[in-house]
Amino acid sequence: MIPRLLLIAVVLVSLQACGVSAEQSLDSHISAAELLARIQAGSAPAIVDVRSRGEFDAGHLPGAVHLPFWAVFFRTSEVPAPKHEPVVVYCAHGPRAGLAKAALRLSGYQQVLYLEGHMSAWKKAGLPVERAP
């Protein structure tokens, strides 16, 4: 199995060669308020938590699926949305989500959005979280 650091290095070099930027523009973000409203209305996009299993189990966004950032390239079939529909990715602060977003874009996902402020801002705002049973 490829060591994780080597995999990350390969991803970063690939991204640079393909001209993919992890942070592209403000339209590549969704606010916590907008995402919460969509969750509550039952019209949320797919939400992917790319943190560790322990972080996910301790609390995640309602309806989020867990897919560690280092596994995104190999497990895109676990993303609960077709490649033409929006997908929201988040981690604790942003770096892992950046790698996951780039991996999803390289895999053909067209609308990959960051959660503004990631999980740290969601928790700070006191927004609802789910915990693993």
Is residue 38 predicted with pLDDT exceeding 70? Answer: yes
Distance CA 34, CA 20 (A): 26
| pLDDT of res. 133 | 75
Type and span of the H or E element at 114: strand 112-115
- Contact criterion met (CB below 8 Å) for 92 and 119: yes
Type and span of the H or E element at 113: strand 112-115
In the residue annotation, 18 being an active-site residue is answered as: no
4-124 CATH, one of 3.40.250.10, 3.65.10.10, 3.40.50.720, 3.20.20.140: 3.40.250.10
pLDDT-based confidence at 21, cuts 50/70/90?
Answer: very low
| pLDDT of res. 25 | 46
Q: Which one is catalytic: 47, 91, 104, 113?
A: 91
User: Which one has a higher pLDDT value, 120 or 7?
Assistant: 120
Question: Per the structure block, which two tokens stand in for 118?
Answer: 């990631």
Q: Mean per-residue pLDDT for 76-88?
A: 96
Would you tell me how many other CB atoms lie within 10 Å of the CB of residue 91? 24
Concatenating the DSSP letter of every residue in 83-107 gives: TTS-EEEE-SSSHHHHHHHHHHHHT
pLDDT-based confidence at 7, cuts 50/70/90?
Answer: low
| pLDDT of res. 81 | 96
Enter the pTM of the model: 0.81
Is residue 107 predicted with pLDDT exceeding 90? Answer: yes
